[in-house]
Amino acid sequence: MINDLNDIVNRVVKETRPSLGQGRVANYIPALGAIDPRKFGIAIFPLNEPPVVYGNADEPFSIQSISKVFTLTLALEAYGADLWAYVGREPSGTPFNSIVQLEQEAGLPRNPFINAGAIAVTATLLKQQTVSVFLDHLVTFVQQIADDETISIDQVVARSEAETGNRNRSLAAFMASFNNLAAPVEDALNAYFNQCALAMSCRQLARAGLFLANKGLDPISGRRLISPERCRRMNALMLTCGHYDGSGEFAFRVGLPGKSGVGGGILAIAPGHASIAVWSPGLNERGNSLAGTVALERLAKRTGWSVFSQG
Amino acid sequence: MINDLNDIVNRVVKETRPSLGQGRVANYIPALGAIDPRKFGIAIFPLNEPPVVYGNADEPFSIQSISKVFTLTLALEAYGADLWAYVGREPSGTPFNSIVQLEQEAGLPRNPFINAGAIAVTATLLKQQTVSVFLDHLVTFVQQIADDETISIDQVVARSEAETGNRNRSLAAFMASFNNLAAPVEDALNAYFNQCALAMSCRQLARAGLFLANKGLDPISGRRLISPERCRRMNALMLTCGHYDGSGEFAFRVGLPGKSGVGGGILAIAPGHASIAVWSPGLNERGNSLAGTVALERLAKRTGWSVFSQG
Amino acid sequence: MINDLNDIVNRVVKETRPSLGQGRVANYIPALGAIDPRKFGIAIFPLNEPPVVYGNADEPFSIQSISKVFTLTLALEAYGADLWAYVGREPSGTPFNSIVQLEQEAGLPRNPFINAGAIAVTATLLKQQTVSVFLDHLVTFVQQIADDETISIDQVVARSEAETGNRNRSLAAFMASFNNLAAPVEDALNAYFNQCALAMSCRQLARAGLFLANKGLDPISGRRLISPERCRRMNALMLTCGHYDGSGEFAFRVGLPGKSGVGGGILAIAPGHASIAVWSPGLNERGNSLAGTVALERLAKRTGWSVFSQG
Amino acid sequence: MINDLNDIVNRVVKETRPSLGQGRVANYIPALGAIDPRKFGIAIFPLNEPPVVYGNADEPFSIQSISKVFTLTLALEAYGADLWAYVGREPSGTPFNSIVQLEQEAGLPRNPFINAGAIAVTATLLKQQTVSVFLDHLVTFVQQIADDETISIDQVVARSEAETGNRNRSLAAFMASFNNLAAPVEDALNAYFNQCALAMSCRQLARAGLFLANKGLDPISGRRLISPERCRRMNALMLTCGHYDGSGEFAFRVGLPGKSGVGGGILAIAPGHASIAVWSPGLNERGNSLAGTVALERLAKRTGWSVFSQG
């Protein structure tokens, strides 16, 4: 099958090529805006088979919102169902940084993958640890599941996030005004800006997501990270909410649980099959990687891995 | 396996029993409000195996919004991707009858499963046929896929819908004011109120949905109804949008594409496995069958049919 | 003083001239779109002095939303404070035809001068009379207060309104769905479309509004139309709500209670001083007469009639 | 006339008595929540006549949002029409602390009297001075126009405001994220929380507002504070926007430009007649003084000072 997968990836790459360099690179911080928009990498880790990688798959990029998957994993392990007192589980129908829904629903964010929801999740993790202990914990966790100790937070990006973070500051203060934030506003933001600045390559990211494709068990280390039921639910959240107000479109076209970041990365999970990471910095109008989405659409079609085409 | 499934259904029914009679029966029209809230039926049609049914599975009920699945099937066959000029594919984040999103997005409804979107879909089907020809066509189509010529529209319900239909009238007129409705307002509403009044039993409904669990091919008749790709996409839409602003919760708890109706029915699809229909009139606060959702949650857990737990 | 006023009007006209022909003429119905945008008329009826008129002051135009002042007068006489069960008294902060606020406030329109509110007011007047009796009554009332029996409804405009009235149809059906409309949807709309099609000249309009400048008493006929207190309140409503989401701007620049119509007319009241009507078909971005607003701003400045510059 | 006014005040007080102690005292900070809800004071400064005071008219209270009138005066003097690049002039149709409108209008607040707008106004005043210089300037200005050097900022209240100020922090950061805030977020908030903590009595407040009733000229000191035109416009803003989403109701019932504060104070201006301050801590459901509004309604009725009942 690995030869097949190599063939498939080659075809997918060919089909994706016309989309490279299209879209707009995020430029709200200099470190992101300076990236060459023609970069493209993909890494596929099938269960129990060697990975297939292509292009700039070993170049670290800013994973940004994809980090929300890792903090949600930690928060669910720490608090279980109590976490849902701080954040909902519904698609938002609004852009990633919208505050309208927060006012209409008294400061409770719709889901853990919009900015407000992710800040709320991170805040819960600060209930019993300082920001720096949290960040150490997070980096160590990601290093372990990616099996790579070189992963780190890009301090330049983290500082830039903080300097341009007034929209997120507004979201955090808004939740705090309803007593729906479990940590002080500046602590929550400090932790959040740093987690978004995690730098990872496609290879590291796909490796790190492998447990989500295998019912919560890392198939390489044999380590159980979360229960099968929690794994199923995390995939459900990624499918319905992982791409902001483009989540329906992604489900429609690709049919895989996934989480995108404004740095141009997407982590996609094919339950029972593989963990996949793509990276291309040009974004579509919803803020998701344009070429990355095309590549995943082609890949899902050629592999039949869509969760909606079983059997 | 069929014995297993019988066992599973027995357990599911037992686990669901405490929820029976809970929730609120829709009472905006007399015909719905008069139903005994303790009714409960379930029908499961596995691919290539005999169906398993339980309880009031042969009692016809008003399928209401579940009809949107059938009209969407017809409209996609008739117009293909051109249909998306009239309706979007994103979860709405708002209740089934909300008009706020319509104003913010210039009369284009978010998806085919909220009321506005379904009215828009039905209107496209009236571009080349009268309301009565459309309704004949729809009933014949449903009879064929359900393999049961007794299925019909409940005229009492249809008339009541029309009499109490001002909210839907408002939605239709709003879209028409943006020239986003392909038929005259009253024609679109007349067709829509009638399609919602289709009366079907769980057995008929599960049978009718079988093609959606089998990549678009009816496994019993051998008739291809839609292409595998379109089937995959319809399942994606049902998963992300099938339960209004409770869609995220349903995906999280059940993990199956589905479509609920205010009559208390839910059609759920386990791709590659089975088509399932449940019915219990008491609704939860999102307007979806309370006991029906519990039953599907237990069933998905016991069968492992969630689309998020493959492999 | 009348010479002074003649002088003032001449200066105002001169200052307004550069604005003539600017703005966009409403073109949603042919009868409105065909008007020459350079038309301009003004009529000022001071209390107890002869009127001063200028330009196209005797040419009838479609008064459109200005009719809401007359139906509100009738409804307050008929129902008094009970009317406020059907409509609020707050500025809306949204465009004239917005439905968002209606959903957020359960079908109760913000004020009598946005479309939804005016339809609600007209509907109350249909509680005890048919549409045609209401229209006869309305036309007779306007003829009396304008002292001119030639005033009539433009049937061509009325029919066009009905044909293009889906947005208003949507608003009416929406209120009806909350049982907040006192008449059947089509009756309310029929009456509303006709009242909007009243054709009046600046002279007729300013004459008709004279009672509002004189504490409810027509100073020419000596007839009391409404109590001083009600008159004061109607002026308050016109000031805070008379120009949709441009009401604050109008109060800031002009400082007079007023009501504008999409036909390019504005009726303005200088309490204790005069009733004024201007007409110029080009509209600003808020849907109010561009040159008409300029003329009123200059007039208020030169006369000192702003309600905010007493003493 | 002064005897008349004494008589009128006595009657107004009598008519207001049943409302004393009703409403809810603001309790988001301890210093406000501890006030006796039955307190009531009124001070009326007619032009060119001695003031009439009653009740707790010499007891300082927290003027809160009434301070927005004074900072707007300073900002218009400093920047003139350039100020309107930072803030609009329309009623908001939403509560005082709503952020929904800010998102819909790209960070530009609707008017200077909602919280976001007032923070924006204060931020412009920090363009060329530090927070402490601004506060010195503001206090000196208020002392001068109130002719009382004892007026000061209540430091306990100011600190409490800062501690509970997350909603305002959210508004400020939101505007900053759109580059619509002319000062750093924390500076703008620091200045704003202090200005809201100004403590003044009814006597001081009514005296301070006298210039607004006299076309911008302080009739006692003879000092011109603003031009007649600007005065007229400030009164227009107070009338259309001075009471949040209760502004229409206040105009309807009272008919005077005014500005209320959550501490229970209201400053009302009768142009050409008088400046009036009332204080009673119990608030109505819109956040405006319940008994204060009743007193002003009765006073306006008995004096005929409503701007809508001239002549």
Question: pLDDT, tens digit, for every residue of D117-152?
Answer: 999 999 999 998 999 999 999 999 999 999 999 999
Which of A111, A298, D101, A295 lies closest to B91 in space, CA to CA?
A: A111
Mutate to test the interface with C, among B166, B178, B193 (most CBs of C within 10 A): B166
Once rounded to an integer, what is the mean pLDDT over residues A35-58? 96
* pLDDT recorded at residue A93: 77
**Are C76 and C87 spatial neighbours (Cβ–Cβ below 8 Å)?**
no
Cβ distance of C240 and D91 shorter than 8 Å: yes
pLDDT at residue C2 greater than cutoff 70: no
Neighbours of C179 (CB within 10 A): 9
Which of D246, D242, D235, D251 lies closest to D93 in space, CA to CA?
A: D246
pLDDT at residue D31 greater than cutoff 90: no
Whether C166 has its CB under 8 Å from any CB of chain B: the answer is: yes
Read off the pLDDT of residues B210-238 as tens digits, 9 standing for 90 and up.
999 999 999 999 999 999 999 999 999 99
Could you tell me the CA-to-CA distances from D140 to D74, D146, D150 in Å, in that order? Answer: 12, 10, 10
Which helix (H) or strand (E) segment holds residue A265: the answer is: strand A265-270
d(C-alpha B300, C-alpha B306), whole Å? 6
* pLDDT recorded at residue B148: 98
Cβ distance of B240 and A247 shorter than 8 Å: yes
Once rounded to an integer, what is the mean pLDDT over residues C181-201? 98
Neighbours of C302 (CB within 10 A): 16
Could you tell me the CA-to-CA distances from C95 to A93, A193, B309, C101, C246 in Å, in that order? Answer: 23, 39, 49, 10, 9
In terms of pLDDT, which residue wins out, D301 or B105? Answer: D301
Whether A284 has its CB under 8 Å from any CB of chain B: the answer is: no
pLDDT at residue A272 greater than cutoff 90: yes
* pLDDT recorded at residue B206: 98
* pLDDT recorded at residue A98: 81
pLDDT at residue C267 greater than cutoff 80: yes
With cut-offs at 50, 70 and 90, classify the pLDDT of residue A29.
confident
Cβ distance of A90 and B235 shorter than 8 Å: no
Read off the pLDDT of residues B146-169 as tens digits, 9 standing for 90 and up.
999 999 999 999 999 999 999 999
* pLDDT recorded at residue D245: 86
* Residue A40 token pair: 């493209």
d(C-alpha D243, C-alpha D247), whole Å? 4
The verdict on whether C65 is a catalytic residue reads yes
Closest-CA residue of chain C to B169: C173
Phi-psi region of D65 (alpha: psi -120 to 50; beta: other; left: phi over 0): alpha
Once rounded to an integer, what is the mean pLDDT over residues D212-230? 96
Look at B20-34, C4-18, C254-268, D141-155 and tell me which has the smallest mean pLDDT.
B20-34
The verdict on whether A100 is a catalytic residue reads no
* pLDDT recorded at residue A205: 98
**Are D225 and D213 spatial neighbours (Cβ–Cβ below 8 Å)?**
no
pLDDT at residue A1 greater than cutoff 60: no
Could you tell me the CA-to-CA distances from D218 to A211, D140, D234 in Å, in that order? Answer: 75, 16, 15
Query: Rg for chain C (alpha carbons), in Å?
Result: 18
pLDDT at residue D1 greater than cutoff 70: no
Cβ distance of A310 and B310 shorter than 8 Å: yes
Once rounded to an integer, what is the mean pLDDT over residues A97-117? 89
Neighbours of D149 (CB within 10 A): 10
**pTM to 2 decimal places:** 0.94
Q: What share of chain B has pLDDT > 90, as a percent? A: 88
Once rounded to an integer, what is the mean pLDDT over residues C188-203? 98
Q: How many CB pairs under 8 A join B and C?
A: 57
Closest-CA residue of chain D to A184: D166
Whether A84 has its CB under 8 Å from any CB of chain B: the answer is: no
**Residue type for C227, please?**
S
Which helix (H) or strand (E) segment holds residue C192: the answer is: helix C185-196
* pLDDT recorded at residue A38: 94
Find the catalytic residue in B192, B259, B278, B289: B192
Q: Which of A98, A103, A167 sits opposite D98 (nearest CB)?
A: A103
pLDDT at residue D106 greater than cutoff 90: no
Cβ distance of A89 and B249 shorter than 8 Å: yes
Residues in chain C with CB shorter than 8 Å from the CB of B185 are 166, 169
* pLDDT recorded at residue D76: 96
* pLDDT recorded at residue C111: 95
Once rounded to an integer, what is the mean pLDDT over residues A269-296? 96
* pLDDT recorded at residue A44: 98
With cut-offs at 50, 70 and 90, classify the pLDDT of residue D92.
confident
Mean pLDDT of chain C: 95
Cβ distance of D99 and A98 shorter than 8 Å: no
Q: Cα distance from B130 to chain A (closest Cα, Å)? A: 31
Read off the pLDDT of residues C27-80 as tens digits, 9 standing for 90 and up.
888 888 989 999 999 999 999 899 999 999 999 999 999 999 999 999 999 999
Cβ distance of A169 and D171 shorter than 8 Å: no
* pLDDT recorded at residue D153: 98
What sections of chain B are H helices per DSSP?
2-16, 30-33, 67-79, 100-104, 115-125, 131-146, 155-163, 166-177, 185-196, 202-208, 210-213, 228-241, 247-253, 290-303
Would you list the DSSP string of C145-175?
HHT-TT-EE-HHHHHHHHHT-HHHHHHHHHH
Find the catalytic residue in D39, D244, D259, D260: D244
Once rounded to an integer, what is the mean pLDDT over residues C79-106? 87
Phi, psi values for residue D74, rounded to 5°: -65, -40
ipTM over 0.90: yes
Mean pLDDT of chain B: 95
Q: Which of B47, B240, B246 sits opposite A248 (nearest CB)?
A: B240
Whether A176 has its CB under 8 Å from any CB of chain D: the answer is: yes
Residues in chain C with CB shorter than 8 Å from the CB of B99 are 99-100, 102-103, 170, 174
Whether A35 has its CB under 8 Å from any CB of chain D: the answer is: no
d(C-alpha C270, C-alpha C210), whole Å? 9
d(C-alpha B171, C-alpha D14), whole Å? 52
* pLDDT recorded at residue B2: 59
Pairing state of beta strands A41-46 and A52-55? antiparallel
**Are C258 and D265 spatial neighbours (Cβ–Cβ below 8 Å)?**
no
* pLDDT recorded at residue C100: 82
pLDDT at residue A138 greater than cutoff 70: yes
pLDDT at residue C94 greater than cutoff 80: no
* Residue B50 token pair: 């005999």
Read off the pLDDT of residues D231-270 as tens digits, 9 standing for 90 and up.
999 999 999 999 988 999 999 999 999 999 999 999 999 9
Whether C173 has its CB under 8 Å from any CB of chain B: the answer is: yes
The verdict on whether C262 is a catalytic residue reads yes
Whether A39 has its CB under 8 Å from any CB of chain B: the answer is: no
* pLDDT recorded at residue B97: 77
**Tokens 């500025």 belong to residue:** C91
Once rounded to an integer, what is the mean pLDDT over residues C171-196? 97
Q: Cβ neighbours of residue D198 under 8 Å, at least 6 residues apart?
A: D62, D63, D67, D138, D139, D142, D151, D152, D153, D154
Q: Which of D233, D235, D248 sits opposite C241 (nearest CB)?
A: D248
pLDDT at residue B34 greater than cutoff 70: yes
d(C-alpha B73, C-alpha B226), whole Å? 8
Q: Which of A93, A111, A253 sits opposite B110 (nearest CB)?
A: A93
Cβ distance of B252 and A236 shorter than 8 Å: yes
Phi, psi values for residue A68, rounded to 5°: -65, -30
Once rounded to an integer, what is the mean pLDDT over residues C182-190? 97
Structure letter (DSSP) for residue B183: S
Whether B306 has its CB under 8 Å from any CB of chain A: the answer is: yes
**Beta strand ranges found along chain D (DSSP E):** 24-25, 41-46, 52-55, 61-62, 152-153, 198-200, 258-260, 265-270, 274-279, 282-283
* pLDDT recorded at residue D2: 58
Cβ distance of D91 and C88 shorter than 8 Å: no
* pLDDT recorded at residue B1: 55
Chain centroid offset of residue B240 CA: 13
Which H, E and C letters describe D132-184, residue by residue?
Answer: HHHHHHHHHHHHHHHCCCCCEECHHHHHHHHHCCHHHHHHHHHHHHCCCCCCC
Q: Which of C102, C103, C166 sits opposite B177 (nearest CB)?
A: C166
pLDDT at residue B245 greater than cutoff 90: no
With cut-offs at 50, 70 and 90, classify the pLDDT of residue B106.
confident
Q: Cα distance from C310 to chain D (closest Cα, Å)? A: 5
Instruction: State the Cα angle at B295 between B290 and B299, rounded to 5°.
Output: 150
pLDDT at residue A273 greater than cutoff 60: yes
Span between the terminal Cα atoms of chain A, in Å: 18
Find the catalytic residue in B68, B160, B201, B260: B68
Whether A90 has its CB under 8 Å from any CB of chain B: the answer is: yes
Query: Rg for chain D (alpha carbons), in Å?
Result: 18
Cβ distance of D89 and C272 shorter than 8 Å: no
* pLDDT recorded at residue B31: 87
Read off the pLDDT of residues A154-202 as tens digits, 9 standing for 90 and up.
999 999 999 999 999 999 999 999 999 999 999 999 999 999 999 999 9
Residues in chain A with CB shorter than 8 Å from the CB of D185 are 166, 169
Could you tell me the CA-to-CA distances from A169 to A44, A184, A192, D34 in Å, in that order? Answer: 36, 11, 10, 32
